[in-house]
Structure 1
Amino acid sequence: MAKHRIFGISFGSVYPHYITKAEKKGRTKEEVDEIIHWLTGYDDDGLGRVLEEKTDFETFFGEAPALNPARSEIKGVICGVRVEEIEDPLMQEIRYLDKLIDELARGKKMEKILRG
């Protein structure tokens, strides 16, 4: 069951780390939020609620208003694993987000990050 360890963690406990990673590389919280909006369909109010309610990752993705169908275009390695080969659907969603934040921190243009 170790592979499900992160699922009980609140999204809000990890969110500040996404922002810190982006800001260390000269990117912004607004860009992190734009990525989250694109991936999940949450708007600012919905994201605020998730953070306030300490929603866990499973609920965060399970109740996402509109998971972006273009997320399947996210390819590459994160944490030593190819995201397109992850079999657990929830872990794959988490790694999609990790990959997008990583691309932001690496200086990729937002239009490329959002597969536009």
Structure 2
Amino acid sequence: MNDTILHDERIAKMTFASVYPHYVTKVEKKGRTIDELHKVIQWLTGFDQKALQKLIDEKATFEQFFQEATLNQNAHLITGVICGYRIEEIKNPLTQKTRYLDKLVDELAKGRKMDKILRTI
């Protein structure tokens, strides 16, 4: 088993609830709001705040999280490097979706304009 398979399995089993506080901290440290974070998450997944809280309370894994999500049709426009991986080259669909979310949170924290983050034209 190679490192990529282990990495993909680790992401699949990680809970959204364990990562969400880090997203909040990251964006708030950079002067962004939880509402903006929720807007970004909702754009990608379709989850409103109530649905997010349910997934957090249930300690849903990223595998469960993205099984329930309705991925935005423009998610494929999310490109670039995050955590050392070029998003558009990631082969595992779940890992790619998770990195989409990481990239959006990163862009929010870096002060990118919301219309650019949400890939509106």
Task: Place the TM-score, normalised by the shorter chain, in its bin.
Answer: over 0.9
Aligned to 1:87: 91
Q: Does 1:57 align with 2:62?
A: yes
3-state SS of the aligned residue for 1:60? Answer: helix
Structure 1 counterpart of 2:117, one-letter code: I
Aligned to 1:75: 79
Q: Percent identity?
A: 57
Shift, 1:43, TM fit: 1.3
Aligned to 1:18: 23
Q: Does 1:29 align with 2:28?
A: no
Partner Cα separation in structure 1 for residue 59 and residue 92 of structure 2: 23
Partner Cα separation in structure 2 for residue 110 and residue 12 of structure 1: 24
Partner Cα separation in structure 2 for residue 6 and residue 79 of structure 1: 13
Could you list the structure 1 runs, at least 4 aligned residues long, displaced by more than 6 angstroms after superposition: none
Equivalent of residue 38 in structure 1, options 39, 43, 53:
43
Q: Does 1:112 align with 2:116?
A: yes
Q: Does 1:47 align with 2:52?
A: yes
Partner Cα separation in structure 1 for residue 34 and residue 60 of structure 2: 19
Q: CA RMSD in A?
A: 0.8
Partner Cα separation in structure 1 for residue 119 and residue 86 of structure 2: 18
Q: Can you give the 5+ residue segments of structure 1 that lack an aligned partner in the other structure? A: none
Q: Can you give the 5+ residue segments of structure 2 that lack an aligned partner in the other structure? A: none
Structure 2 counterpart of 1:8, one-letter code: K
Shift, 1:9, TM fit: 1.4
Structure 2 counterpart of 1:34, one-letter code: K
Q: What is the CA deviation profile of residues 88-115 of structure 1, one whole-angstrom value per residue up to 9, with x for unaligned ones? A: 0000000000000010011100110000
Structure 2 counterpart of 1:36, one-letter code: I
3-state SS of the aligned residue for 2:74? Answer: helix
